[in-house]
Structure 1
């Protein structure tokens, strides 16, 4: 009512000349009208106070699904948030799982969203991984726990996103075990924006920034030199790593399932610029010609991701 037209009396009634003897009746009627308006205002306030408040829906979590020897996984949903879901994996001591490119060995996680309804797009975000050194191989992945944030924007904002996830994930210790979990959930529409819970917010901080050099606390690419035609083909990456340079690392991905060998640190200067090399076979060098490579720079205080052509 506060946004509507103000209350007004009948303009014609105000134009009439009052007759003697009617003043008391008129005043009585006015007093009655004021009392009615007061009661109506009180009723309106009470109704407004009891009306439902459209607050943001709270985040919820599925039951844990046990994977193997204490490792487990669950699905989180966050109505109203841009990142409105997440997959949390908790690993038993000594166990590990893999990044989207596992390195010399291992199995990347497979997220199958077939059957999901009202999702305009689906994007899984990968936190910055770590190099895991083993006696026979070097792999890329996670230990302890990892949270994969997920964006599932609704195609129709006033309808729920009905999530169906079939997850295949490899977990390894002395042996590797393929693990499987299925989840179904509905993310209801939310009238107000929401922030992700702390566990997802922390994971988002570790997701590599797209385009190195935007955040001075994160690594930045200085030079990329692909040598694909020489007698010893290789990829050379120079990058600046703020903070503790012992944590600096570089991972390279290629399209079409072409495996790029793990990089090795070669030189480091006083300005914080570190060089890495990936030595290639002649056949891999030939396969990489003209391809766009994804280079992930991982530092102590953040990570960045850039794309560079292999020419």
Structure 2
């Protein structure tokens, strides 16, 4: 996961400002109760609606973003898995962020302890919201997940259809990752063999270690390869190892996104 920009650290020290209700009119949050799946899991969704001009952030928010945090503790669930529709890339004040504007529906696949009964799902979600300023904001949501009578929700189904393509679906045939040393940590060059996408490509690179900060990659086509180069730094400033199998690359181009997990070598 990309780390929070140092420029935003002072804002994270303002919980009273973000949680006092002054920004409740900026974002409306609700749980869409969804429907029960044949295997006993439940498909629900977190639905966020943002005021005009405001945006919120993806799981890897970029240099100028605040990563979302989910707390589902105290529920009749064993796991809540969030799916992420393809995000947009924003540039503001010389920094890049990755997220959504207007509204976003995040599908939730919920594993239940009691599959034959209605279940109550409660969540506390800390998100970043941004317009002229970027602020942390907390929302609380709650819904009953019906055991019977639920039908597929078109908004949830549309959001599920908007998640990035897998590497296989997008025709990715090879992913090479080359690591080098830099003054502050490491350099990483990824070379992805894949068909060209329409639009100028952006990439977001994540690692399996949340304490590794990933700089905004420089992305370009080089023949039949999509090349992305970036810098990696550990938050402690110390030495670290990179698990190449845990590298995750999301390619965003126009209205299409591709989710690539792991390097071939």
Q: Could you say which TM-score interval applies, normalised by the shorter chain?
A: 0.7 to 0.9
RMSD over aligned CA atoms reads: 3.0
Residue 221 of structure 2 corresponds to residue 249 of structure 1: no
Distance in 2 (CA, whole Å) between partners of 1:219 and 1:178 is 38
**Equivalence map 1:267-306=2 (5 Å):** 267-269=221-223, 273-280=225-232, 286-290=239-243, 292-300=246-254, 302-306=256-260
**Equivalence map 1:47-62=2 (5 Å):** none
Query: For 2:33, which of 59, 62, 77 is the aligned residue?
Result: 77
What runs of 5+ residues in structure 2 fail to find an aligned partner? 1-20
Distance in 1 (CA, whole Å) between partners of 2:44 and 2:54 is 25
Higher relative helix content:
1
CA contact 1:241–1:299 (8 Å) conserved in 2: no
**Equivalence map 1:158-307=2 (5 Å):** 158-190=116-148, 194-195=151-152, 197-209=153-165, 211-213=166-168, 215=169, 218=170, 220=172, 222-229=174-181, 233-246=187-200, 248-254=201-207, 255-269=209-223, 273-280=225-232, 286-290=239-243, 292-300=246-254, 302-307=256-261
CA contact 2:79–2:111 (8 Å) conserved in 1: yes
Distance in 1 (CA, whole Å) between partners of 2:102 and 2:111 is 29
Q: Deviations over 1:199-248 (max 9, x none)?
A: 11111112124x411x2xx36363322222478833223242554132x3
Structure ranking higher on relative contact order (CA contacts 8 Å, 6+ apart): 2
TM-score by length of 1: 0.66
What runs of 5+ residues in structure 1 fail to find an aligned partner? 1-64
Greater C-alpha radius of gyration: 1
Query: For 2:55, which of 93, 96, 99 is the aligned residue?
Result: 96
Alpha-carbon deviation of 1:171? Answer: 0.4
TM-score by length of 2: 0.76
Higher relative strand content:
2
How many residues align? The count is 237
Distance in 1 (CA, whole Å) between partners of 2:202 and 2:255 is 12
CA contact 1:219–1:242 (8 Å) conserved in 2: no
User: Cα gap change, 1:74/1:299 in structure 2, threshold over 3 Å: closer, same or farther?
Assistant: same
